[in-house]
């Protein structure tokens, strides 16, 4: 089976390609710049230069593929207009759907985000049955990913579609870095200022295995949370300290400070200045958005390992890339 992976140089996509190759699949990786691809050549891997917002290049890559794992998306927190998210995360997904229908692709696995589902507490974590919850329902990234997810599920009567929804991923091959920036933020520091909230952290290698498990076993029209451990930011940085042997002084940032920074960011955005600061983003840092992985474990057979493994491998990878 030949599988097209969009956004092939991203953190999850790169790890997913490794899982696919290890299971004997032939893989076509779609990306805009082959120089940014992090993996060595492989006889079952070919790279196709293209962009999901350019239907012609996308269609060329789809030819001969049986399935698509749609990872490509923008997660940029600096964008000033919702239309910028919509163009890639919604219209780009519509282009993937049209290319799949035109070339008789059998299945699409859509990589969404856990925040299109309602989060819960440590005692009662969120699951796939819960609708989006504020402040994520107000966040442009999560909103655009939900729209993309809805587009995918709407064509389930024409081809098989499965949604996978990873939480915050930690591990190797984080080239930007993306979520791994939290490792670099805390590594080797004597003082770490952290927000009061928390989130679910998942090993990216487990998430990648879950994506391929969904390709093989995921039910049509179903969504699966790929979730690991529910931790406060303080707990996460303590685990990071355990891995490095260097424990920083952890100081929680007051909610009032984050709120003020958010409103300052709103004003900067009003002036056309790009910044990740916004009132919504600061509210996100103050909540504890926790999730469960029972459905993925039960229906896909995906195994989830302690986050220490992801932290250790992320540190090793950043060191080999001279990013730490």
Residue 172, pLDDT score:
97
Domain presence at residue 295? yes
CATH of the domain at 57: 3.40.50.720
Cα distances from 80 to residues 52, 61, 145, 177, 214, in angstroms, run 21, 31, 17, 21, 34
Cβ–Cβ under 8 Å, residues 283 and 266: no
Cβ–Cβ under 8 Å, residues 165 and 223: yes
Q: What is the largest CA-CA distance in the chain?
A: 56
Summary count for the chain: helices (H), strands (E): 12, 13
Domain presence at residue 239? no
DSSP 114: G
Residue 130, pLDDT score:
97
What is the 3-class SS of 44-85, one letter each residue? Answer: CEEEEECCCCCHHHHHHHHCCCCEEEECCCCCCCCCCCHHHH
* Residues of the chain where predicted confidence (pLDDT) is lower than 70: none
pTM, full prediction: 0.96
Residue 176, pLDDT score:
87
Range of the domain at 82: 2-177+200-229+289-306
Residue 16, pLDDT score:
98
Residue 312, pLDDT score:
97
Domain presence at residue 243? no
Domain presence at residue 108? yes
Q: How many domains does the chain have?
A: 1
Strand partners, 199: 231, 289
Domain presence at residue 169? yes
Domain presence at residue 25? yes
Domain presence at residue 112? yes
Tens digits of residue pLDDT in 201-257: 999 999 999 999 999 999 999 999 999 999 999 999 999 999 999 899 999 999 999
Domain presence at residue 261? no
């Amino acid at each position: 089976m030949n599988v097209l992976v969009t956004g092939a140089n991203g953190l999850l996509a790169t790890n997913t390609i490794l899982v696919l190759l290890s299971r004997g699949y032939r893989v076509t990786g779609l990306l805009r710049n082959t120089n940014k691809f992090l993996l060595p050549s492989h006889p079952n891997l070919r790279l196709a230069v293209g962009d999901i917002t350019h239907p012609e290049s996308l269609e060329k890559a789809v030819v001969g593929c049986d399935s698509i794992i749609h990872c490509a998306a923008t997660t940029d927190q600096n964008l000033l207009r919702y239309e910028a998210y919509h163009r890639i995360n919604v219209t780009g997904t519509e282009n993937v759907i049209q290319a799949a229908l035109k070339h008789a692709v059998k299945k699409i696995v859509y990589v969404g985000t856990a925040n299109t589902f309602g989060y819960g507490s440590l005692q009662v974590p969120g699951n796939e049955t819960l609708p989006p919850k504020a402040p994520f329902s107000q966040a442009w990234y999560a909103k655009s990913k939900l729209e993309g997810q809805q587009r995918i599920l709407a064509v389930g009567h024409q081809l098989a579609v499965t949604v996978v929804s990873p939480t915050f991923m930690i591990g190797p091959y984080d080239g930007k870095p993306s979520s791994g920036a939290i490792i670099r933020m805390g590594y080797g520091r004597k003082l770490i200022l952290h927000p009061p909230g928390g989130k679910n952290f998942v090993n990216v290698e487990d998430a990648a295995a879950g994506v391929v498990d969904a390709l093989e076993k995921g039910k049509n029209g179903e969504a699966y949370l790929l979730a690991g451990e529910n931790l406060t930011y303080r707990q996460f940085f303590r685990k990071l300290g355990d891995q490095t042997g260097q424990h920083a002084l952890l100081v929680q940032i007051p909610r009032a400070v984050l709120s003020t920074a958010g409103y300052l960011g709103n004003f900067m955005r009003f002036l056309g200045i790009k910044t990740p600061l916004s009132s919504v983003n600061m509210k996100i840092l103050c909540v504890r958005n926790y999730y469960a992985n029972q459905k993925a474990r039960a229906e896909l057979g995906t195994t989830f390992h302690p986050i220490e493994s992801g932290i250790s491998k992320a540190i090793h990878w950043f060191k080999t890339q001279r990013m730490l």
